[in-house]
A and B are shown apart, each in its own frame.
Chain A
Amino acid sequence: MTLLEVQDLRVTFRTPDGDVQAVRGVTFAVERGRTLGIVGESGSGKSVSTQTLMGLTRGAVVSGSARFEGKDLLALPPDQLRRLRGAEISMIFQDPLTSLHPLYTIGWQIMEMIRIHEPSTSKEQARKRAVEQLALVGIPQPDQRVNDYPHQFSGGMRQRAMIAMALALNPKLIIADEPTTALDATVQAQILDLMARLQKEFDTALIMITHDLGVIADMADDVLVMYAGKPVEHARRRELYYAPHHPYTVGLLESVPSATGDKTRLRPVPGQPPSLLSPPAGCSFHPRCRYVMPQCRVDEPPLPAGQHGSACWLPSDLVGIGPEVAARRQEASRAQRD
């Protein structure tokens, strides 16, 4: 069942240098209890999209719709959106230090959140729940650590505390924005394990935003790849990794050194991402695309709906990575050019 359905979301920031089109038409859906991974590089609009849903992009020009259980988040009055935030939808950020208040204890912050959304809860009850939450995310001696301030926690512990806070009101959807980027590999593994376990336990839907294809490979059921403010491909996880279609997705996968120790030359995506002040005409990836065709410079390819869609003019049967597919793609783009 669909929990959140985002339709043609567009976000523009007005700056003295011109309008920055940070998000240029994003459509996706999140199912109950499933994980949607949104992957993209800096400036792809992956974070801005979800921040907009939560009403965190002040001053931006927003259009489109985002239905969460029938309610359009983008049309909701601020006080109703605030009530939803934390209780029904909660967020986990990359740097817990910026989202935890430095002058209040961890426990106080969790209690406060519970009591804001459930005013009938007594102080003692809230405290008990805060301790339970900390225990749930694996913080040792939670009844003591509940009185600690954020700076007394290590990076991994702070992220656990953030997760405890995000789960405190048993939300239906958690949006995690680069939750492990600031953490070391061994701690990242702990946090990802924890998130996956708790998600299963509470049947929560999760949107996982990251630039790390490894994290997506571990966590996501469905994947959305974003480039220059637009989704370019969406697919089930295995399909995306083993039968990608969009040349950008292929490029991303080929840019990562292989996990098997293969030392053949990497095939990076040439060039740099475009400026969002004046995105290129046609397909926004065409200036960097190996298979660019005349049509790509003029017409913007649509993103087909369904289980696997790729916003690319190359025929849909040219799917996958590897030399053979690449050669066939090359041929197809040459054929179109003639």
Chain B
Amino acid sequence: MSLTEAQAEAEHLPEQPPGVPGKGPWRLAWERLRRDRAAMISLAVIAVIVLLALLAPVFAAITGHGPQDQFPSEGVTPEGLPVGPSATFWLGADGLGRDLLVRMLYGARISLFVGIVSTLLATVFGVIIGMVAGFYGGWVDTLLARVLDVVLSFPYLLVAIVLAAVYGAGLPLLIFVIAFFSFAAMARIVRGQTIAYREREFIEAARSLGAGKVRTMFVDVLPNLIAPVTVLASLLIPTSIVFEATLSYLGLGVDPRTPSWGAILYEATDYYRVAPGLLLFPALMLLITTLAFNLLGDGVRDALDPRADRR
């Protein structure tokens, strides 16, 4: 009757070499994601778009066209119409003789910035509020859940228009509005997930060890939320980008002189008969970007499939 006997009973297994850190759920998810062709292509596309956005000043330098620079002589035909794609204006110019390509690339900076920052904000607030509501339950939950219901039933476009009218359009307001209307969706999902996890035995185990609520929430619940949150966040980014474009199109976005996809599209409406590229290129860019984020989000969801982490 020795302890070593019981230990030996468990031991002699064909083991992997010791000391090797285990392939964690994240590593495994990454490996699954890498096998997903659509997701990997999307990731590459997003990387290219980000790179292009970062390199916007370089393009401006090469072409010699700043994003705000107007070229009334080269960019506009004598009849006053925008020129088409050429060696100097690679994708053509707009009605004021500004370089479309350069403006689109600068616009990508705004779109990506707004998309990512507002999603980050929405995620942080959504996770905290959803987790607190789900974990504490009771009246805290009832109150927060009702607040979320109210937020989700707001006519968001109307609110955005009113806010823009009252406070004046601008980037911070834009980000705030987008984040405000997407955090509720995040909070709702997080709340549901938290309620499901609250009943799991490992949460009970943490309680039996004497862990406090805040610790349990951050140490035990949060890591399990990362998967669904990542998926939702990667789907929120394209939504936010489209939201930004919509608001900018309506003139509620950033300063109209600053290039942004929505603003470019709005300006293009005057000329789309003579210069379809003016409408086509930014619309295509918007489509490709949102599609890539959506496909990546789908891929991430499949890779993080909870059914795969049981065994």
Contact = CB atoms under 8 A, between A and B. Distances in A.
A271 interface: yes
Interface in B23-74: 32, 35
Contacts, number: 19
A314 B11 CA distance: 25
B207 to A, nearest CB: 28
B1 A271 contact: no
Nearest to B1: A265
A272 B13 contact: yes
A265 B10 CA distance: 15
Contacts of A214: none
Contacts of B9: 268, 270-271
Nearest to A265: B1
Contact of B13 (A16, A265, A268, A271): A271
Nearest to A268: B9
B14 A287 contact: yes
A16 B14 contact: no
Contacts of B11: 270-271
Interface in A245-267: 265
Contact of B10 (A16, A270, A287): A270
A265 B12 CA distance: 20
Contacts of A268: 9
B268 to A, nearest CB: 45
Contacts of A280: 14
B8 interface: yes
Interface residues of A, number: 8
A287 B9 CA distance: 12
B1 A16 contact: no
Nearest to B14: A287
Contacts of B35: 16
B8 A270 contact: yes
A277 B13 CA distance: 16
Contacts of B8: 270
Contacts of A271: 9-13
Interface in A266-288: 268, 270-272, 280, 287
Q: Interface size class for chain B? A: 10 to 19
Interface string B217-248: 00000000000000000000000000000000
Contacts of B12: 270-271, 287
B194 to A, nearest CB: 27
B32 A287 contact: no
A16 B308 CA distance: 11
A202 B186 CA distance: 59
A268 B8 CA distance: 11
Interface string B240-277: 00000000000000000000000000000000000000
A4 B10 CA distance: 39
B28 to A, nearest CB: 10
A16 B28 CA distance: 12
A280 B13 CA distance: 12
The interface centre, meaning the residue of B1, B8, B12, B32 with most chain A CB atoms within 10 A of its CB, is: B12
Nearest to A270: B9
A287 B14 CA distance: 8
Nearest to B311: A43
The interface centre, meaning the residue of A268, A271, A272, A280 with most chain B CB atoms within 10 A of its CB, is: A271
The interface centre, meaning the residue of B1, B8, B10, B35 with most chain A CB atoms within 10 A of its CB, is: B10
A287 B1 contact: no
Nearest to A278: B14
A270 B13 CA distance: 8
A271 B12 CA distance: 6
B306 to A, nearest CB: 16
Nearest to B308: A16
A46 B117 CA distance: 54
A268 B11 CA distance: 12
A268 B5 CA distance: 11
Nearest to B32: A16
A12 to B, nearest CB: 18
Contacts of B10: 270-271
Nearest to A269: B9
Nearest to B13: A271
Interface in B1-20: 1, 8-14
Interface string A285-306: 0010000000000000000000
B101 to A, nearest CB: 42
Contacts of B32: 16
A16 B35 CA distance: 10
Contacts of A16: 32, 35
Contacts of A265: 1
A51 to B, nearest CB: 19
A265 B3 CA distance: 12
A257 B170 CA distance: 75
The interface centre, meaning the residue of A270, A272, A280, A287 with most chain B CB atoms within 10 A of its CB, is: A270
A41 to B, nearest CB: 15
Nearest to A267: B9
B25 to A, nearest CB: 15
Interface in A1-38: 16
Interface string B168-211: 00000000000000000000000000000000000000000000
Contacts of B1: 265
Nearest to A266: B9
A37 B13 CA distance: 30
Given A271-B11, A271-B12, A287-B13, 8 more contacts: A16-B32, A16-B35, A265-B1, A268-B9, A270-B11, A271-B9, A271-B10, A272-B13
Q: Which 5 A-B pairs have the closest CB atoms?
A: A270-B9, A271-B13, A268-B9, A272-B13, A287-B14
6 contacts: A16-B32, A270-B9, A271-B11, A271-B12, A272-B13, A280-B14
Interface of A: 16, 265, 268, 270-272, 280, 287
